[in-house]
Structure 1
Amino acid sequence: MSINLTVGNYKGGVGKTKNAILIPYILSSMGKKCLVIDLDPQGNATTVLARTRQNFMDEPFIFDKTLMGAIKDENLSEIILPVKDNLDLLPSHIDFANYPTYLDLKFGLVDKQNEDYDSIYTKKMNYLNELIKPLSDKYDYIFIDVPPTKSIMTDSAVMASDYVLIILQTQELSLDGAVQYLEDLRNLAEYGGRFDILGVLPVLMDKNTSSDEFILSQANDVFGENNMFQTKVPQMARLKRFDNTGIQEKDRFDKKVIDLYKIVTKEFLDKISLMGELNNEY
């Protein structure tokens, strides 16, 4: 049975997608079977992992069917693509932008004043979870990358998750986005979401500056110091280069990123273990 995790923030460009693919990349190298589900119609995770695959395999990606096509068939497994040993991708496509309309047609469209709104919206949010469940036995971890906005896509991902990892870039707008995201997570819990917030992973704009320290201090106050990852991801040019090359381990700059994410992943696993122990006490 997989551990499912959504990586999110309501501010774009904060490193959300990078972490949604680099942590499972490291886990896969540790022998853990991982799946990355790209629920962003822009498909950034799909693009980077497609390029990563080229670093490990000669065969190109062949898209016989889009994400919406697989959803309509109620069979997500038919579009899963291998990236490397122990790492698979469920790729996104621009047509996934039609997912809200698909749900409206399937379950009905009502406004918030309608007495059936909550029950219908709950069905919409939980539909994706039903599609993901058949994949659970095949993986140790399923990571879900989502758009940086409030939407049925982001809500559906959270409802299908055991944990949520919040990415925080050390700038005011990113903190605002993280706070808004936290408020929405609380609302989703009232809809029956059974997830825990794993923590907040800081991504530094410019390490060792007063502005970074100020935002981190504010984040400690908002989220609680115990919920903040001790590991902080510094500004690294090689992380941006992975957008063009895919994740690779060819030189010392690549390896510096990989070594950092081994530390991030260890703390990730420690937090998963601690959460499991706490949940078993209740």
Structure 2
Amino acid sequence: MVATVMSFANFKGGVGKTSTSALVGYNLSKLGKKVLIIDFDAQANLTSLLLKTKASDSDIITIDTSLMSAINENIPLDSIVIPISETLHLIPNAVDFSMYTRYLERNFDTEIEKVSFFSQLIAPLKDIYDFIFIDVPPTLSLLNDTAFYACDQIVVVLQTQERSLAGAEVFIEYLQQTLIDEFHSKVDILGILPVLSKKGARVDDEILKSAYEEFGMDNIFDNKISIMERVKRMDMEGITDNDKDIHDRRVHEIFTHVANEIMTRLEG
């Protein structure tokens, strides 16, 4: 077992990257894959979401060591993992991660040492999991460079809005010019995953048409995610998975399709 390390990313915020990371990871774990999700954002939204998900099965959940604390104290990351389920695990984050860039600047002299640091840190985890997802904030920064350098694949999340399309274009250009050309990263773009503003809306069709023209039809995921109220509720309350609830079933059906397409694209 050698994990595929992935990130859902875009330069623009508010496109559903954290929800997508959580729900794709959750449904891959239901398909029998062992999944680790690393929260790489000091706002810790993904940590909150997954701990609320776990809270449905247990009353007391505590974070003994955050990601930044583990880095500062040279604690192996596998020792701070929180099991959300048997096959879905979390490395939690907290506000102290805002010091991560300063840590890199203080401890390393060259840019490649800084950028490659996190890749080396998670290397021992790759023998434990099938998938490792790194959930990043929507910025182009040294912080994210270290996350993307650690990735094998990136899925660009494209909300069907004009600014999001422009953000995807800038993001892909940045990956090529910085991580690949300058630092010789082997990261690849697995595809572009559209998030529809409103199913059947004209703006969705227009942005998708522009995306097909810009990136090529084969590079756009066949499966698309619609913005759903139930996903918004899960962001606040944790992931629910009630087979008798049509809204839960619909959410997990969509994200299971995305999970399966990811595996198909990796095989191809």
Describe how 1:123-272 pairs up with structure 2 within 5 A.
123-187=113-177, 188-190=179-181, 191-250=183-242, 251-272=245-266
TM-score, with structure 2 as normaliser? 0.95
Q: Deviations over 1:204-230 (max 9, x none)?
A: 011211111111111112221110001
What displacement does 1:66 show? 2.2
- 8 Å contact 2:66–2:91 — kept in the other structure? no
SS at structure 2 position matched to 1:35:
strand
SS at structure 1 position matched to 2:191:
strand
What displacement does 1:262 show? 1.3
- 8 Å contact 1:168–1:201 — kept in the other structure? yes
Question: Could you say which residue in structure 1 is the equivalent of 2:104?
Answer: 103
Q: Deviations over 1:66-116 (max 9, x none)?
A: 2111012332222210101200000111111111100111014xxxxxxxx
- In the alignment, the residues of structure 2 paired with residue 184 and residue 11 of structure 1 have an alpha-carbon distance, to the nearest angstrom, of 13
- 8 Å contact 1:202–1:228 — kept in the other structure? yes
- In the alignment, the residues of structure 2 paired with residue 60 and residue 39 of structure 1 have an alpha-carbon distance, to the nearest angstrom, of 23
- In the alignment, the residues of structure 2 paired with residue 247 and residue 63 of structure 1 have an alpha-carbon distance, to the nearest angstrom, of 19
- In the alignment, the residues of structure 2 paired with residue 68 and residue 245 of structure 1 have an alpha-carbon distance, to the nearest angstrom, of 25
- Over the matched positions of the two proteins, sequence identity in percent amounts to 40
- In the alignment, the residues of structure 2 paired with residue 173 and residue 199 of structure 1 have an alpha-carbon distance, to the nearest angstrom, of 19
What displacement does 1:60 show? 2.7
TM-score, with structure 1 as normaliser? 0.90
SS at structure 1 position matched to 2:155:
strand
State yes or no: 1:69 paired with 2:61. Answer: no
- In the alignment, the residues of structure 2 paired with residue 176 and residue 94 of structure 1 have an alpha-carbon distance, to the nearest angstrom, of 30
Letter of the aligned partner of 2:213 in structure 1? D
SS at structure 1 position matched to 2:61:
coil
- 8 Å contact 1:33–1:139 — kept in the other structure? yes
State yes or no: 1:51 paired with 2:52. Answer: yes
SS at structure 1 position matched to 2:138:
coil
- 8 Å contact 1:61–1:81 — kept in the other structure? no
Q: How many residues align?
A: 262
Runs of 4+ aligned residues of structure 1 deviating over 4 Å after TM superposition are: none
Structure 2 unmatched ranges of 5 or more: none
Q: Deviations over 1:2-21 (max 9, x none)?
A: 11001100111101111111
SS at structure 1 position matched to 2:27:
helix
- 8 Å contact 2:7–2:136 — kept in the other structure? yes
What displacement does 1:59 show? 4.7
Distance 1:162 1:241, change over 3 A: same
- 8 Å contact 1:164–1:199 — kept in the other structure? yes
- 8 Å contact 2:29–2:88 — kept in the other structure? yes
- 8 Å contact 2:8–2:157 — kept in the other structure? yes
What displacement does 1:235 show? 2.2
- In the alignment, the residues of structure 1 paired with residue 215 and residue 145 of structure 2 have an alpha-carbon distance, to the nearest angstrom, of 20
What displacement does 1:62 show? 1.4
- In the alignment, the residues of structure 1 paired with residue 129 and residue 73 of structure 2 have an alpha-carbon distance, to the nearest angstrom, of 21
